[in-house]
Amino acid sequence: MFNDPRFTVDVELTIPFHDVDAMGVVWHGNYFRYFEIAREKLLGTFNYGYREMKASGYLWPVVDTRVKYRAALTFEQTIRVRATLDEIENRLRINYQIFDAHSGQRTTTGYTIQVAVEEGSHELSFVSPPILFERLGVQP
DSSP one-letter string for 74-127: BTT-EEEEEEEEEE-SSSEEEEEEEEETTT--EEEEEEEEE--EETTT-PBPSS
Residue 100 phi/psi, 5° resolution? -70, 125
At 51 the three-state DSSP class reads helix
Question: Confidence band (pLDDT; 50, 70, 90) for 140?
Answer: confident
Percentage, residues of the chain above pLDDT 90: 94
Q: Could you give the C-alpha distances from 97 to 9, 15, 107, 122, 123, in angstroms and in order?
A: 11, 16, 8, 32, 32
The predicted pLDDT at position 2 comes to 64
Rounded to whole angstroms, how far apart are CA atoms 61 and 125?
Answer: 12
Q: What is the mean pLDDT of the chain?
A: 95
Rounded to whole angstroms, how far apart are CA atoms 8 and 86?
Answer: 9
CB-based contacts of 9: which residues, under 8 Å, 6+ apart?
38, 41, 42, 45, 82, 83
- The distance between the two most distant Cα atoms of the chain, rounded to a whole number of Å, is 49
Please say if the pLDDT value at position 85 is more than 60.
yes
CB-based contacts of 109: which residues, under 8 Å, 6+ apart?
67, 68, 70, 95, 96, 97, 98
Question: What fold, for 5-136?
Answer: Thiol Ester Dehydrase; Chain A (3.10.129)
Residue 77 phi/psi, 5° resolution? -70, 140
Residues 20-64: tens digit of each pLDDT: 999 999 999 999 999 999 999 999 999 999 999 999 999 999 999
E strand or H helix at 64, and its extent?
A: strand 62-69
The predicted pLDDT at position 139 comes to 85
Residues 113-133: tens digit of each pLDDT: 999 999 999 999 999 999 999
- The average pLDDT across 83-110 equals 97
